Structure 1
Amino acid sequence: MRNALYLIISLLFLASCRGTKYNCAELKSIEKIPTETLIKTADSISELRNLVWKEKEEMEKKGIMIDFSFENPVFFEQNCNSKSELKETYHIIGSMIKHEKIKVRIIGNSDSVEIENKPNLSLERAEFIKAIFIKNGIEKNRIEILDAKYDRPFGPKMESGNKENRRVDFEIIAQ
């Protein structure tokens, strides 16, 4: 009876994950993004960043402090270590194509429920995003991986997990 229960629980978990490393989107099904698109996105974000910096300086002169970030996280569905929509990465990859001195740290995170059931999921997410960067021409020596597990939560710990914690973050580490 006990073995049957473990088998049922294991099968349910594998069914939710489909039992493969890249379960929600097959890495091989994700096509290389056209270099022109990546560079155009990086240039657009760069222009926007410059405008925001100017606005920030003006606001700080008035005593108003603001903060902003253009390194948006990539969010994942629960128990998934991959996804097919990756527009959040375009400007980072494009910037890395344009500027060969840029290096990035990809930080995998998971929610409180996932970390108990699948402790390597956050690392798998970071590895998946690294594979996307490499697929788009970024050399692997320019990419670091950090497995944060559940050590950097955005949102509260909840029984159902927390979407804000099922993510990969980026840090620019060298220019």
Structure 2
Amino acid sequence: MTTVTLYLDRLDAVIFDVDSIVKGTAEAHVYGDTVRVLRELRLRYVPTAAVSSSRHRVQVLHSAGVAGLLDVRVDGADLDRLGLPGKPFPAAYQEAARRLGARPAGCAVVEDAVAGVRAGHTGGFGVVIGVDRGGDLAGALYDAGATVVVSSMSDVLLVERTPLRLVQARRGQADAVWNDRPVIWSQ
């Protein structure tokens, strides 16, 4: 597994699969690492959503006390009402992006299942993070189109801005001079 850096200035939103936030249904157990990321995103005003193909699955988020960390929730009942297919089709993620007012290419998807990773990939989402908590799905998640696979959301670092770098520029268009060369700051 690896560590991934998400540059928030390049993201319109982050869309989570419900099962990457909570485990179980009767007594919902939250993944603390994912809740930490949700809280950080909320503090930094990054829109968030939760998606599930199961009917009423997002109600578990209320039981777990994390629904308030999400701007949008889309579940199987919504998909049925709208006549949209579930995973591995990208419709649920696309609907969440639409409700957030975000472009799929500007969104990150967080998923722990092969079908969901495939949905994020085929839906044209900018970053698809596969979460392999058990350590046995990384290959399948990459094969399904994951941009990166992590073992925990603790492996995801949120950074406010993409680092700037100096790039050679033509005279008269420079932001600065470095080693007697005109340069501009670029991302």
| Structure with higher strand content | 2
Q: TM-score, normalised by structure 2?
A: 0.28
| Structure with higher helix content | 1
